[in-house]
Amino acid sequence: MTDIDRPHIVRAKDVRIDSDYAAWLSEIKHRYHSAQIKAAVKVNTEKLFFNWSLGRDLVIRKAEDKWGDGVVEQLSLDLQGAFPNDKGFSSRNLWNMKQWYMFFSSNSAITKLHQLGAEIQQLHNHLITKPHQLGAEFSSDFPSVLGLVPWRHQINIISKCKSLDEAIFYLKESILGGWSRQTLDNSIKANLYKTHGNAISNFSHHLPETQSRMAQEITKDNYDFGFITVPVDYKEEQLEAALEQNITRFLLELGTGFSFVGRQKELIVGRHTRKIDMLFYHIRLKAYVVVELKVRPFDPEFAGKLNYYVNAVDELLKGPDDNPTIGLLICSDKDETEVRWAFKGIQTPMGVASYDNVQVTTASDLLPSAEELQARVRMMEEELNKSRK
């Protein structure tokens, strides 16, 4: 039970507290919580709309042509003089407003932003502020979904993204994942846009459209395991153990929304015990994700085993409100034709990806250095001398 749902313990005189009152109180609390969120989002949206409209002015009015190349610097000085307590009127920030407006104001950008807004609206009905609710002069030109992303995030996005689609991808992930600016920067540096959603899969054939698109988005073509170290001739269980020991890094590499359920998760099927390499639950997808790890290239037989585990989770763990379980096989390498052929006839949703950059440790790395050996010899000699006395 959350704080919102928990009845207040204070009691007034001459009042009867029953289940109907408790339900009504809970409803009021939820309404107020929703109003708080709407208010915070609206404040951010209003501020961003102002930035949009000022950037629009600089473009539409052709300010530099009309008043000279120094007009932005002059406008900055005038606005800072009028609003000395506001730090948002530096000349650099005014240039950012102009760049931001130019980046997102084309017809194709507006269309894609409205599509993103509709998608976010379906997932979080309380977040989007309708354009007419802004009540501003140019509100119809402003895609209100932009109001869900902080200003500094947006500047990072437009300054570092090479295309509109890439920028919209990071806007969406920032909204749905509640990304901090540091997380956003790290994701852009890791080029998440290029690797995100590119696993070879059959999701489109076996999931409804919305779930299929989301399942594809949460998988990658290749996973970077550069944060783990294993022996040079490592086995699958050693790879699993290293990933479990670094589960926080692994969850970051998997992406937003993954929750770790367990490693070598036991399933009792008939009289047999079966163990899944790693099991996750994806919060946005509302589905279990079975992850099987292979330290060698893809083999068609892997698909059959993964298919079995996905079906087992659907039968034994999946709840009535969960979406169909998906399987993800991560192996050292893969051939797309082999994967596609192996998927034929399989009815469960699954994808195949690869991994790289695992750090390996050779036997010589595990041996003590000459200095360590000498120290051990001295210690043994000292212990021997003590025993003789």
CATH value at residue 285: 3.40.1350.10
C-alpha 232: how far from its chain's center?
Answer: 32
**Structure tokens, 180:** 């901090």
213 and 274 co-located in one domain: yes
The whole domain housing 137 covers 19-148
Q: Is 334 in the same domain as 226?
A: yes
Question: Residue 163 falls within a domain, yes or no?
Answer: no
Which run of H or of E encompasses 217?
A: helix 209-217
What local confidence, expressed as pLDDT, does residue 125 receive? 58
| Same-domain pairing of 109 and 213 | no
Q: Is 70 part of a structural domain of the chain?
A: yes
353 within some domain: yes
State whether 216 and 347 are in the same domain.
yes
Say whether both 95 and 232 belong to one domain.
Answer: no
Tokens matching residue 181:
């600016």
pLDDT tens digits for the chain (389 residues)?
444 444 445 566 666 777 787 787 778 777 777 677 667 667 778 889 899 999 999 999 998 998 898 989 999 999 999 888 888 899 999 999 999 999 999 999 999 998 888 878 776 655 555 544 444 444 557 888 898 899 999 999 999 999 999 999 999 888 887 788 888 888 888 788 877 777 899 998 999 888 888 888 889 888 999 999 998 889 999 999 999 999 989 998 898 889 999 999 999 988 889 999 999 999 989 999 999 999 999 999 999 999 999 999 999 999 999 999 999 999 999 998 999 999 999 999 999 999 998 998 865 554 566 676 677 767 777 777 766 66
Give the total number of structural domains in the chain.
2
Q: Is residue 283 part of a domain?
A: yes
**Taking the mean position of all CA atoms in its chain, how far away is CA 191?**
13
One domain, residues 206 and 314: yes
Judgement on whether residues 103 and 222 belong to the same structural domain of the protein = no
For 27, the enclosing helix (H) or strand (E) is: helix 19-60
Q: For position 360, what pLDDT does the model report?
A: 86
Q: Which of 119, 148, 177 is the last residue of a domain?
A: 148
Buried b (16+ CB within 10 A) or exposed e, 157-176: bbeebeebebbbbbbbbbbb
Is there a domain that residue 192 lies in? no
Whether residue 264 is found in the same domain as residue 325:
yes
Angle at 243 between CA 240 and CA 244, to 5 degrees: 85
DSSP 227: T
Same domain, residue pair 140 and 207: no
CB atoms within 10 A of CB 355: 22
For 263, phi then psi, to 5°, come to: -105, 145
